[in-house]
Amino acid sequence: MSDTGLGIVGCGAMGSALARGMIRKGAFDPASVWVFDIYRERARALAKSLNAQPAGSLEELFAHCRHIFIAVKPQDMETAVESFKGFVKPSQVIISIAAGITIKFIEGRLPAGTKVIRLMPNTPCLIGEGAIGMSAGSAVTAGEAEAVENSLKSLGLTVPIPEHLMDAVTGLSGTGPAYVFLFIESLIDSGVMMGLNRDTATALTIQTVIGAARMLQENGVHPAELRNNVTSPGGTTCAAIQVFEETGFRNSLIKAVIAATRRAGELRRD
């Protein structure tokens, strides 16, 4: 029986995104993708939509797969690991996306030498534009880590990091979409206050954010340089930036990331 396939344990939003993304980009043949969820109908529906394989049990999934993504909620992680620890083989790589659950926590509940990788994805992974922090356990070889990183390309950018920095990744990019959404919401509301209708304000704001991000991505320069390019002396941008500095916009954002990072550390389970 072959164990070269991809396994997804947990078919919620992120687990489904993992399966869809890796199949869509050709990283895996649908016939080699196995999905499992305690809610069996959810797994069957996902498998049907992707022409993948619904696993009747965790034992069946582990028998067919080499890379197994554990996409369950952090509070369910211990139960999930206990339920499959008897099926893990030395050749398999267990890949967790559970926030706050350390590699040590997982390794300590699985057979000695089990290969474990930890990811911190964010919600834009659902549309293939995510940012993912990735840390590998000591049993994972460089080639195995590279194979997992390559399989994640359909979900966005993956950045290998030391695990002790995973809380910082959580505070920056893991929760970062919420900061951006709040910024966008505020810009839209300010446009409405200035007389624009909400649809127009929304369209202009979203495109402004997309365009600014793409300029940074394509130019590869420090954001301050692009900001300075549009800040004419005594002009409208200068007046706006002065308000941001007076009201502590920059400082508030930095404090928010620090607070989120600290909170991630408080929720960490070793």
Taking the CA atoms of 155, 159, 164 and 168 in sequence, report the sign of the dihedral they define.
Answer: negative
Q: Is the pLDDT of residue 242 over 90?
A: yes
- Distance in angstroms (rounded) separating the CA atoms of residues 119 and 132: 6
User: Can you give the pLDDT at residue 21?
Assistant: 87
Q: Is the pLDDT of residue 80 over 90?
A: yes
C-alpha distances out from residue 23 to 6, 8, 50, 58, 210, Å: 10, 12, 8, 21, 27
Instruction: Say if strands 115-120 and 53-54 run parallel, antiparallel, or are unpaired.
Output: unpaired
Q: Is the pLDDT of residue 145 over 70?
A: yes
Residue 234 structure tokens: 């005594």
Q: Is the pLDDT of residue 2 over 80?
A: no
Residue among 75, 140, 151 nearest 110 (CA): 140
Average pLDDT over residues 198-206: 98
Q: What is the pLDDT of residues 169-186, one digit of tens each?
A: 999 999 999 999 999 999
User: Can you give the pLDDT at residue 25?
Assistant: 74
Q: Is the pLDDT of residue 1 over 60?
A: no
User: Can you give the pLDDT at residue 27?
Assistant: 75
Mean pLDDT of the chain: 95
C-alpha distances out from residue 7 to 47, 49, 193, 198, 234, Å: 11, 16, 50, 44, 58
- Distance in angstroms (rounded) separating the CA atoms of residues 10 and 51: 17
